[in-house]
């Protein structure tokens, strides 16, 4: 199993008109080795920034982040070979006209031969039941089908870690269940932020993020309970 290590990691960004930088994350120290890790918290709490640290999409402005010993700043290419990232909106990730072309694009560095790359892409699409949709425009696909296409494109290069940023947010119930079923069959270590607390309850470990800090780290049921108590306290505050 992969190990993601964060040591006193923080992220601060300059904001026009403000004398001091805005703090997005601060003092995050974690060792993540479980197979299924959930991240929950309110919008704007820092969840997405935390996830983006894990494959170098965001660089820490303090502290360090490493994946299996590879620093996400100094060895970002090696990190991204290990960590696949799935965004909330698949249309921000699917850049080619069809799913087949997107999967082949993902394989362009690892599979040089065109015929072999096409065959590998078809095998990946078939694995997820998407081969019949491979040549349709991505704009003709349902939200769930697009999300699975994005997932297939990321998994085509067989990363050891899969990071997903609220992948079910734009999906209806049927497609959320389809995504859940697909994720449950994967061998990769998964780190996923979600507003779906039922999905969070299926994780091995759950982090609760609030105001740029991890305020709870533990078993899924206890973490969800803690998050619910935070939300209840907010509602009770006049």
Angle at 147 between CA 104 and CA 228, to 5 degrees: 145
Q: Which domains does the chain have, with CATH numbers?
A: 4-93+161-236 (3.40.50.300)
Confidence of residue 233 (pLDDT cuts 50, 70, 90): confident
The answer to whether 189 and 2 are in contact (CB under 8 A) is yes
Phi first, then psi, for residue 160 (nearest 5°) are -85, -20
DSSP three-state, residue 188 = coil
Specify the pLDDT at position 238.
Answer: 63
Q: Is the pLDDT of residue 235 over 90?
A: no
Q: For residues 199 and 48, what is the distance between their CA atoms, to the nearest angstrom?
A: 17
Specify the pLDDT at position 178.
Answer: 84
- Rounded (10°) CA dihedral 50, 168, 178, 131: -80
Q: For residues 207 and 197, what is the distance between their CA atoms, to the nearest angstrom?
A: 12
Q: For residues 182 and 177, what is the distance between their CA atoms, to the nearest angstrom?
A: 9
Q: Is the pLDDT of residue 173 over 90?
A: no
The answer to whether 94 and 153 are in contact (CB under 8 A) is yes
Phi first, then psi, for residue 76 (nearest 5°) are -65, -35
Q: Is the pLDDT of residue 208 over 90?
A: yes
Q: For residues 100 and 111, what is the distance between their CA atoms, to the nearest angstrom?
A: 15
Q: What pLDDT, in 10s, does the model give residues 120-155?
A: 999 999 988 899 999 999 999 988 889 899 999 999
Q: Is the pLDDT of residue 220 over 90?
A: yes
Share of the chain above pLDDT 70, in %: 99
Angle at 159 between CA 43 and CA 209, to 5 degrees: 20
Q: Which residues contact 126 (CB under 8 A, 6 or more apart)?
A: none
212 φψ region: left (φ > 0), alpha (ψ -120 to 50), beta (else): left
């Amino acid at each position: 199993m992969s190990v993601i290590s964060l040591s006193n990691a923080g992220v601060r960004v300059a904001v026009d008109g403000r004398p001091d930088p805005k703090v997005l994350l601060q003092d995050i120290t974690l060792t993540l080795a479980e197979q299924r890790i959930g991240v929950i918290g309110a919008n704007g709490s820092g969840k997405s920034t935390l996830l983006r640290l894990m494959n170098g999409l965001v660089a820490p402005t303090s502290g360090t982040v490493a994946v299996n010993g590879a620093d996400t700043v100094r060895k970002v290419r090696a990190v991204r070979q290990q960590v696949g990232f799935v965004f909330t909106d698949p249309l921000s990730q699917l850049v080619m006209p069809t799913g087949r072309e997107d999967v082949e694009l993902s394989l362009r560095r690892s599979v040089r031969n065109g015929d072999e790359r096409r065959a590998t892409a078809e095998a990946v699409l078939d694995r997820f039941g998407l081969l019949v949709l491979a040549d349709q425009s991505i704009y003709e696909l349902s939200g769930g089908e697009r999300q699975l296409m994005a997932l297939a494109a990321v998994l085509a290069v067989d990363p050891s870690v899969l990071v997903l940023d609220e992948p079910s947010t734009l999906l209806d119930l049927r497609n959320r269940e389809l995504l859940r079923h697909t994720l449950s069959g994967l061998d990769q270590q998964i780190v996923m932020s979600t507003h779906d607390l039922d999905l969070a309850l299926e994780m091995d470990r759950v982090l609760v993020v609030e105001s740029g800090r991890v305020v709870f780290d533990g078993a899924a049921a206890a973490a969800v309970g803690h998050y619910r108590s935070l939300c209840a306290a907010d509602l009770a505050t006049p």
